[in-house]
Amino acid sequence: MEEKKKKALLIKLSSLGDVIFNIPLANALKDAGYEVTWLVSEKGIQVVENNPCVDKAILAPLGKWKKKGPCKENFDDYIKLIKQIRAEKFDIAIDSQMMLKSLYWLLFSGAKRRIISKEAREFAILGGNEWIDNISYAPDSPIVLNYLRYAQHLGIKTDNIKVTLPPRTEEQIKKIDELLSGLDKTKPLVVVAPATTWKNKHWNKNNWKTVVDNLRPHCNIVFTGGPNDNELIEYINEGRHLNLAGKTNIIELMEVFSRAKLVMAPDSGSAHLAWATRNPAVLTIFTCTPKEVLAPLGDKNKYVALGGEGLPCQPCFKRKCQLHKNIDACTNFPNPKDVLEVAQNLIFS
């Protein structure tokens, strides 16, 4: 008789980059024989749903709830979701979000073992009944390896770091074929995704312009982002290159990235999604966040992180500049010449 699989609930709600960083943890649980359910918000649902490392994805619509504000409908939805989770009778629940917004999901999950790190913030530690040491042992410890410490706590070997993404459909592939059909097939494809949600994680837009202008004669350059990124993109682009901002969903964006020779971005969901596709080289530009922790993990000849050290205050990991009269001085670094040199090596070597 086949032994019944143990059931694991992984609570990682957002953001897109953080969800991607947890995919190796989900794969480690899956490969160890667990049936894996992932509780995720709208920001990460597309990379979790239909991902081979996940048996079931449960959507916690945090964005919708926040937009509607406190109301009976949201409360009813919340209670319904809690009941759905408890009905699964999980053996373990892991809260790698470690914040107030994940506290109640862990606390009321019904799991026999509710595991969270001691470094959890906003009282989230109260949701656990089993605590592991701080997962961020050192400021230079890559975040993917940090999250894998949850698997190690369960006695699971983590030597094989596996990154998986949902498959693309024929319709999605055809759409990208059409969007890219006008490119010069004799030139390499370089994708530039210059925007992210933190203003001070943006690299100086004139620096971007310098790099793009120098690559333009030798490459197909395609810009990607959301609809709110068009003003920034068009400043850099000046109408010269294909702009796909707002024209693709996450799965379609994966397909664009998978066809690129190089993806260039700040520390953002786009950079981490490009890394997860496993095909392009990725050049990530860091300003206020620590590249030793958040840079794409792997081959240093393929995944290059620049910046984060031009000023003594870097990296501060703050959403708002605390120094320099709030002018976000760190966004001027690194020098565009250094970025261009690395980009050319990644494209043409």
Residues 254 and 187 both lie in one domain: yes
Residues 257 and 297 both lie in one domain: yes
Q: How many domains does the chain have?
A: 2
pLDDT (tens, 9 = 90+) of the chain, 349 residues, equals 456 889 999 999 999 999 999 999 999 999 999 999 999 999 999 999 999 999 999 999 999 999 999 999 999 999 999 999 999 999 999 999 999 999 999 999 999 999 999 999 999 999 999 999 988 866 779 999 999 999 999 999 999 999 999 999 999 999 999 999 999 999 999 999 999 998 899 999 999 999 999 999 999 999 999 999 999 999 999 999 999 999 999 999 999 999 999 999 999 999 999 999 999 999 999 999 999 999 999 999 999 999 988 788 888 888 888 775 667 889 999 999 999 999 999 999 8
The string of DSSP letters for 213-251 reads HHHTTTSEEEE---GGGHHHHHHHHTT-SEE-TTS--HH
Position 308 in a domain:
yes
Residues 134 and 180 both lie in one domain: no
pLDDT computed for residue 1 by the predictor:
46
Residues 330 and 185 both lie in one domain: yes
pTM equals 0.95
Tens digit of pLDDT for each residue in 315-335? 888 888 877 566 788 999 999
Residues 337 and 195 both lie in one domain: yes
Q: Is omega for the bond preceding 14 within 30 degrees of 0, making it cis?
A: no
Give dist(CA 207, CA 239) in Å, integer.
17
Residues 135 and 188 both lie in one domain: no
Could you tell me if 150 and 25 are in contact, meaning their C-beta atoms sit under 8 angstroms apart? yes
196: domain range? 170-348
Could you tell me if 133 and 117 are in contact, meaning their C-beta atoms sit under 8 angstroms apart? yes
Position 158 in a domain:
no
Position 299 in a domain:
yes
What's the CATH code of the domain at 280?
Answer: 3.40.50.2000
Position 125 in a domain:
yes
